Amino acid sequence: MSNHDDVLARIESLLEDEDDWVSAMSTVACELHTSFEHFHWTGFYRTVKPNVLKIGPYQGGHGCLVIPFDKGICGAAARTGETQDVPDVHARSEHIACSSTTLSEVVVPIKNSSGQVVAVLDLDSDLPAAFSPEDVSFTEHLCQYLGAKYF
Ligand code: SME
pLDDT (tens digit per residue) in 20-59: 999 999 999 999 999 999 999 999 999 999 999 999 999 9
The CATH class that applies to domain 3-150 reads: alpha beta
What is the helix (H) or strand (E) element at residue 49, kind and residue range? Answer: strand 41-49
| Spans of the chain, pLDDT less than 70 | 1
| For the chain, domain boundaries | 3-150
Q: Are 20 and 28 in contact (CB under 8 A)?
A: no
The residues lining ligand 1, judged by C-beta closer than 6 Å to any ligand atom, are 41, 63-64, 67, 72-75, 95-96, 98, 102, 105, 122, 124
Task: Tell the burial category of 14 from Cβ atoms under 10 Å away from its Cβ (0-12, 13-18, 19+).
Answer: middle
What pLDDT sits at residue 26? Answer: 98
What pLDDT sits at residue 82? Answer: 98
C-alpha 98 – ligand 1 centre gap (Å): 6
Q: Are 81 and 117 in contact (CB under 8 A)?
A: yes
| Gyration radius from the chain CA atoms | 14
CA nearest to 32, candidates 17, 10, 55: 10
- CA triplet 123, 125, 131: central angle to 5 degrees? 70
What pLDDT sits at residue 38? Answer: 98
- CA triplet 145, 121, 9: central angle to 5 degrees? 40
- Whether the model clears a pTM of 0.85, i.e. scores above it, the answer is yes
Q: In what order do the strands lie in the sheet with 104-111?
A: 66-68, 52-59, 41-49, 117-125, 104-111, 84-86
Q: pLDDT tens digits for 42-53?
A: 999 999 999 999
Q: Provide the residue type at 145 as one letter.
A: Y
What pLDDT sits at residue 2? Answer: 75
C-alpha 1 – ligand 1 centre gap (Å): 31
What pLDDT sits at residue 142? Answer: 98
CA distance 48 to 54: 6
Atom of ligand 1 nearest to the CA of 45: 4
